[in-house]
Amino acid sequence: MDELSLWLEPTGEDLERISKIFNNIQREYNSPIFIPHVTLIDNIPQESQEIESKVTNLKCQKFKIKFKAINIGKKIYNSIFLECEQSLELMKLNKSAQEVYSKKYTYNPHMSVIYGNFSYEGKQKIIQDLTKVGLDNFNFEAKTISLWHAEGETSNWKKIFEKNLN
């Protein structure tokens, strides 16, 4: 079954800066290239009724996403990630999305930096590289919510719909 995800993505200069850093690290460590994003909610069945209108009905204004640390994950898809501050706006938007799509889970907002199966030492080296370029102090304004089909190879991921935040 095809599944969809809702993302918050950096835009403009923020996107250019973070993409350049991510792409350099991803190439250096032979990792898949992907669009920087904070997943708001995932595993939305494509058969869900009125998917786009549900996105449109999510009410939210633009808000700042701040990161508080560069962390190590245990899964391939979060080997190294930026941990988000759990701001009131971000957590409220996630709760609304969970309600709209009838999902319930603990939300740990983050932005994955690199995908892969790296040793602990390798992960520590990547974190040092990211800290040197100032990624430990990155933030961006969430201006849109986008709906993505993000299964399989990252090169096949596709944006389906995007909504501007007020």
CATH number of the domain enclosing 86: 3.90.1140.10
Q: Which residue has the higher pLDDT, 103 or 50?
A: 103
**pLDDT score for 2:** 67
* pTM attached to this predicted model: 0.93
Number of structural domains found in the chain: 1
* Residues 79-135: tens digit of each pLDDT: 999 999 999 999 999 999 999 888 898 999 999 999 999 999 999 999 999 998 888
Instruction: Give bridge partners of residue 147 from the DSSP assignment.
Output: 6, 161
* 3 state DSSP class of 125: helix
**pLDDT score for 3:** 82
Which residue range(s) make up the domain with 137?
3-164
Which helix (DSSP H) or strand (DSSP E) does residue 146 occupy? strand 144-149
- Token look-up 């190294």 returns 80
**Strand 63-72 versus strand 139-142 pairing type:** antiparallel
- Measured in degrees and rounded to the nearest 5, phi and psi for residue 62 equal -55, 145
**pLDDT score for 48:** 61
For residues 127-150, average pLDDT: 91
What are the helix (H) ranges across the chain?
Answer: 12-28, 51-57, 88-100, 120-132
For residues 34-49, average pLDDT: 86
Tell me the C-alpha distance between 14 and 138, whole Å.
9
For residues 44-58, average pLDDT: 79
Inform me whether the pLDDT recorded for 1 exceeds 50. Answer: no
Contact 13/60 with Cβ under 8 angstroms?
Answer: no
